[in-house]
A and B are shown apart, each in its own frame.
Chain A
Amino acid sequence: AQSVTQLGSHVSVSEGALVLLRCNYSSSVPPYLFWYVQYPNQGLQLLLKYTSAATLVKGINGFEAEFKKSETSFHLTKPSAHMSDAAEYFCAVKLSSNTGKLIFGQGTTLQVKP
């Protein structure tokens, strides 16, 4: 069964430090990959997506992610954390263009300390 695994349900970094949120997927074919962010009392907002073009994807708010097929990973990074980055982050996969179904990871809560 296809799945998405996010390592670490909680990640804490200091303001200005590197943010690294991990996502691994299991799929027999290259999927479409997404990172969503959820701020308190808001819906899921798309940060970035991989759709088989460039393997390094840049998103909003300074985030980027790199698709590594050999490692079946799509880790999310940001060079310097801001207090406003504190939120819950979800990795998701869509297995083909013929389905709208997103399969989500369990989410990672990012805490940013001053």
Chain B
Amino acid sequence: EPEVTQTPSHQVTQMGQEVILRCVPISNHLYFYWYRQILGQKVEFLVSFYNNEISEKSEIFDDQFSVERPDGSNFTLKIRSTKLEDSAMYFCASSPLTIGAGGEQFFGPGTRLTVL
């Protein structure tokens, strides 16, 4: 069964460093998403991406964040200068061409980012 994969599973970085979180969505999906979950808090939407551009983003997704689909398979989230409060579990998700009414999002296992 096809699944969304994410690498690495755990990333530790120093404050101020750049990190890139990688995701491989399901191959025939065209909508991509990033969410994050700070420990003990809700899963929060960050950004959605379609047709090589951001279709929607939250207020969390400021200039420190960027997303890219560098090739036909990967979908990346870059944080330019990490802060302590960026420590969280980051989930990638993808959904088929038509999100339509209640289109299902398929989630990856997450990358735990720890900023020291």
Total contacting residues, chain A, CB less than 8 A = 26
Total contacting residues, chain B, CB less than 8 A = 29
Residues of A within 8 A of B105 (CB): 46, 100, 102
Whether B43 and A104, one on each chain, are in contact in the complex, defined by CB atoms closer than 8 angstroms, is yes
Give residues of chain A (13-56) contacting chain B, Cβ–Cβ below 8 Å. Answer: 32, 34, 36, 41-46, 49-52
Whether B42 and A107, one on each chain, are in contact in the complex, defined by CB atoms closer than 8 angstroms, is yes
Task: Identify the closest chain B residue to A33 (Cβ).
Answer: B102
The count of A-to-B residue pairs whose CB atoms sit within 8 angstroms is 65
The verdict on A84 contacting chain B, using a C-beta distance below 8 Å, is no
Residues of B within 8 A of A105 (CB): 42
Whether A103 and B4, one on each chain, are in contact in the complex, defined by CB atoms closer than 8 angstroms, is no
Q: A43-B110, A46-B104, A97-B101 are in contact. Are A102 and B42 (CB under 8 A)?
A: no
Whether A100 and B42, one on each chain, are in contact in the complex, defined by CB atoms closer than 8 angstroms, is no
Whether B102 and A50, one on each chain, are in contact in the complex, defined by CB atoms closer than 8 angstroms, is yes
Task: Identify the closest chain B residue to A44 (Cβ).
Answer: B107
- The distance from the CB of B113 to the nearest CB of chain A, in whole angstroms, is 16
In the assembly, what is the distance between CA of A49 and CA of B44, in Å? 19
Q: Which residues of B contact A (CB under 8 A)?
A: 3-4, 31, 33, 35, 41-45, 48, 55-56, 58, 91, 93, 95, 99-110
13 contacts between A and B (CB under 8 A): A44-B107, A45-B107, A46-B104, A46-B105, A46-B106, A49-B102, A50-B102, A51-B101, A97-B103, A100-B55, A101-B56, A102-B35, A104-B44
